[in-house]
Amino acid sequence: MVTIDGIPAHPLVIHAVVVLLPLAALGTLAVAARPSWRRQLGVPVLLLALAGVAAVPVAVQTGEQLKAALGGQNPLIDVHQARAGLLLPFAIAFLVLLAVTVLVGKRADRAEPGSDGGTTTATRVTIGSGVLAAVLGLVVLGLVVWIGHAGATAVWQGIGS
């Protein structure tokens, strides 16, 4: 089991997930709301999301190590583990949509309005992916809370019992 100064790595690593993904989700709301905020905050929010998503498999791996070190079966830990298995696909989809929003948004900012005076395809893609990224960010935020609640319940009600 990986430890950091004698402490199991899992409770330390999960803080990257618990802090970075919700911050990225909230930042995505701002990025999707206004083009000027996307220009200013898009790349930093994208980097937060990237770090948060990268921390998810590490948190899962260190959680499995901690569960094995604790030995035995604990239904509260099983619930936490089952819920945690749902996060990565949603987090990756959130990251991809946010990346599309930020990167295509940069192209849309440079593009001239369509020949008919309307918006360009890049602008429409930026708006659509921004709305979807914001919605998926809220889903990820909800999952993080739901998974974290199960983990906290396992710690405070189950492990020492």
Cβ contacts of 139 within 8 Å, gap of 6 or more: 90, 94
pLDDT value for 74? 86
Check whether 71 has a pLDDT greater than 90. Answer: no
| Residue of 3, 20, 22 whose CA lies nearest to 54 | 20
pLDDT value for 62? 95
pLDDT value for 73? 82
DSSP H helices, 34-86, are: 35-70, 75-84
pLDDT, one tens digit per residue, over 137-155 is 999 999 999 999 999 999 8
pLDDT value for 46? 98
pLDDT, one tens digit per residue, over 12-53 is 999 999 999 999 999 999 999 999 999 999 999 999 999 999
Domain ranges of the chain: 3-159
Check whether 56 has a pLDDT greater than 80. Answer: yes
Report the C-alpha dihedral over residues 119, 125, 126, 128, rounded to 10 degrees: 110
Cβ contacts of 83 within 8 Å, gap of 6 or more: 143, 146, 147, 150
pLDDT, one tens digit per residue, over 91-138 is 999 999 999 999 999 998 887 666 555 568 999 999 999 999 999 999
What mean pLDDT is predicted for residues 66-84? Answer: 90
pLDDT value for 114? 60
pLDDT value for 112? 66
| Amino acid at the residue 26 | L
